[in-house]
Amino acid sequence: MRPPANPLPGHHLVDAAIAWVDATAHHLDTEDAPLRTARGRVLTEDMRAVWAIPTSDRAALDGFAVQASASLGASAYNPVRLPLIAVAAGDALPAGTDAVVPLESAEPDERAYIEVVEAAAAGHNVEQQGAIATIGATLVPAGTQLAARHIGLLAIAGLFRVPVVRRPRVRILLAKPAQADAWEDSNGPMIRAVVERDGGVIGECVAVERDQMAIREALVEPGVDIILLIGGTGGGSDDHSAAALAEAGELAIHGIVLRPGETTGLGRTFGGVPVVLLPGAPAACLWSS
């Protein structure tokens, strides 16, 4: 991103535009989402463990469960014979055992015993109960955008649904160019893809006449959380988007030190719905979004 060489008077820095968005955007409601589809969603509550994870001591690798004290003195010259209790990684330790001997450190025989050639310490190769989380521990704090690792952690905690921020409903308005008969719109599909990538839900994507009154009426239609108005943001004789937004509520920022995208604007309707004015040139439209 590079600013224009000679920014026009009244143009705002990008930081100022971001600060306006942060100050204006309102919190969306909470909804429950299935955990399996929650990647990328933002938690609204701390997720806490209702039981210890793991729930019991378990083997950290494949091997043989033993009572560590029974293996004392074991060596290649003094193998110790112990009961054969095979375990796989993740298995709960059987009662009376407190360590796991790796497969390569013991030799099983045909009579259900093993010969241990290296002494084991209590807790060796064991994942202790509560090692990942104790009861009541915060697994994932509120405000976290859920990634794959969070999904896995919440799954082993037994959660199937999580409280997340509702996806914003977005209306895309396209100001028709003067020569609409030959118009091949690329901005609509492009910005729709951007919205969906960032977690928004498209309420509608409609073209409006390049007329100040028509644009104003489209802006005040209720039912969405944000409006993206594409085209007609400049100072030409048929550019009415900024004036229409000023009539529909507030034109807070018009012109950002951004190239391409100098005519980007920000404001909101009388109903408090944030509006972003995006230039009609595809490169500027994408860069400004």
- Residues 269-278 have a mean pLDDT of 95
Closest CA to 272 of 227, 233, 229: 227
Q: How far apart are CA 44 and CA 51, in angstroms?
A: 21
DSSP 48-78: E-SS-BSSS-EESSSEEEE-GGGGTT--SSS
Question: pLDDT value at position 177?
Answer: 80
Cα–Cα separations (whole angstroms), residue 93 to 96, 126, 263, 269: 8, 8, 66, 63
pLDDT, tens digit (0-9, with 9 covering 90-100), for 204-257: 899 999 899 999 999 999 999 999 999 999 888 889 999 999 999 999 999 888
Which structural domains are found in the chain, ordered by start?
Answer: 14-28+167-288 (3.40.980.10), 33-51+144-165 (no CATH), 58-127 (2.170.190.11)
- 3-state secondary structure at position 82: strand
Report pLDDT digits (tens) over 68-108.
Answer: 999 999 888 898 999 999 999 999 999 999 999 999 888 88
Q: Which tokens is 277 given?
A: 């004015």
- Secondary element (H or E) of residue 251: strand 249-254
Contact assessment for residue 144 and residue 38, using Cβ atoms and an 8 Å cutoff: no
Taking only the tens place, the pLDDT of each residue in 97-138 is 999 999 988 888 888 999 998 889 999 999 999 999 999 999
SS3 83: strand
